[in-house]
Chains A and B, each alone.
Chain A
Amino acid sequence: QKEVEQDPGPLSVPEGAIVSLNCTYSNSAFQYFMWYRQYSRKGPELLMYTYSSGNKEDGRFTAQVDKSSKYISLFIRDSQPSDSATYLCAMSGGLNAGGTSYGKLTFGQGTILTVHP
């Protein structure tokens, strides 16, 4: 069983739709949760990060973390064709009893999203 599970999709939605992307994880040591966006044939770029449980909003994007359920989500409101990309969730243990994780991330498989006009 992988530490982080993400539905690879693909997901196709019309412009203006609300998109929900999700990941589940099994390692309770994860404290930092990130969403990366990766355009075709490019490297991933950090979209949002949250620490521990809660919500974080940035424009049309909202990230939610529920540590009790080991479940994280990314919502995209008023989706645009420019949002078409692969979305990767990633997690890190942060500073812990074993020492720093040095920024090492565990990634989900990525969800391919297409927003069509």
Chain B
Amino acid sequence: NAGVTQTPKFRVLKTGQSMTLLCAQDMNHEYMYWYRQDPGMGLRLIHYSVGEGTTAKGEVPDGYNVSRLKKQNFLLGLESAAPSQTSVYFCASSSSFRPNTGELFFGEGSRLTVL
């Protein structure tokens, strides 16, 4: 019972490098999200998707791009990494039947350090 799986779990980048974080869910959820978690800031929404082929901006979208080519996958890309993007990134998914009850299912996080 995998739930939400994030890869990679750890990554170190140099400023200016690019990378992609992959999120996969096996619960057939319509909605998927990318959050970042920083000390003292809580979780902040980067981008989200309400279905295959759709994406939308969240609270802190600058410097990130996303794609949802398949329902089960949600990719987060950093085109030119900056030290300010050092963070723990969480992917989450939720059912379209109860999107507003707060039942998000989170992955275990991807720790990114940008030097």
Contact = CB atoms under 8 A, between A and B. Distances in A.
A34 B102 contact: yes
Given A43-B90, A108-B42, A110-B42, A103 B106 contact: no
A101 B100 CA distance: 7
A102 to B, nearest CB: 5
A18 interface: no
Interface residues on A, range: 20 to 34
Contacts, number: 75
Interface string A51-71: 100000000000000000000
The 10 closest A-B pairs by CB, nearest first: A43-B106, A34-B102, A103-B99, A107-B42, A94-B100, A107-B43, A103-B94, A109-B42, A49-B102, A43-B108
B74 interface: no
Nearest to B35: A107
Given A41-B109, A43-B108, A107-B42, A102 B31 contact: yes
Please classify the interface of chain A as helix (H, G, I), strand (E, B), loop, or mixed, using the class held by over half of its residues. loop
Interface in A1-33: 4, 6, 8, 31-33
B13 to A, nearest CB: 20
A90 interface: yes
Interface of B: 4, 31, 33, 35, 40-45, 48, 50, 58, 90, 92, 94, 99-104, 106-109
B89 to A, nearest CB: 11
Nearest to B45: A104
Given A32-B102, A103-B33, A104-B48, 5 more contacts: A31-B100, A45-B106, A94-B100, A103-B102, A107-B43
